[in-house]
């Protein structure tokens, strides 16, 4: 490329990773006030273009404001919501874990008794029973 061609091509300023815009509650309320002041034809569109907003933003923010969700006007964390763990559910999981551990222990004990019986039979010595 020649020097003249490099002067014509503008340098692109794009972030390597796109980031979601977040608006503060104060900004949202300020924009809603400015939108309600728009009375002339084309003022609303001009405001939205100048701020880089969409009409869907206004719809969402109005719903939140009308529902009294002032805290809802702050950006919300995306993704799955963390489920509240009930104390009873926690206890059930704890008991299931303990039950699994005890069943495994009982199976090992039964296997040991069977092994002792086989060893006693091979050696020809009878095991003492609890009944005698």
Q: Assess whether 69 and 107 both reside in one domain.
A: no
Name the DSSP class of 9: S
What pTM value is reported for the model? 0.44
CA within 13 Å, CB half, 24: 3
Which run of H or E residues covers position 37?
none
Domain-located, residue 61 = yes
User: What pLDDT digit, counting tens, does each position of 2-55 carry?
Assistant: 555 556 666 767 777 888 888 888 888 899 999 999 889 999 999 999 999 999
Q: Assess whether 59 and 95 both reside in one domain.
A: no
Q: Assess whether 64 and 99 both reside in one domain.
A: no
**Cβ atoms 61, 73 nearer than 8 A:** yes
Residue-number span of the structural domain to which 27 is assigned: 21-73
Q: Assess whether 54 and 95 both reside in one domain.
A: no
Q: How far is CA 69 from the centre of its chain?
A: 21
Q: Assess whether 69 and 92 both reside in one domain.
A: no
Domain-located, residue 8 = no
């Amino acid at each position: 490329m020649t020097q003249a061609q490099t002067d014509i091509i503008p340098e692109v300023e794009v972030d390597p990773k796109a980031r979601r815009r977040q608006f503060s509650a104060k900004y949202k309320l300020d924009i809603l006030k400015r939108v309600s002041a728009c009375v002339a034809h084309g003022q609303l569109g001009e405001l939205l273009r100048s701020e880089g907003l969409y009409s869907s933003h206004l719809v969402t923010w109005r719903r939140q404001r009308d529902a009294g969700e002032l805290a809802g006007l702050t950006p919300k964390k995306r993704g799955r919501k963390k489920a509240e763990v009930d104390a009873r559910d926690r206890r059930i999981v704890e008991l299931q874990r303990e039950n699994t551990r005890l069943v495994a222990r009982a199976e090992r004990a039964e296997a040991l008794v069977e092994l002792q019986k086989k060893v006693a039979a091979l050696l020809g010595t009878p095991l003492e029973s609890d009944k005698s």
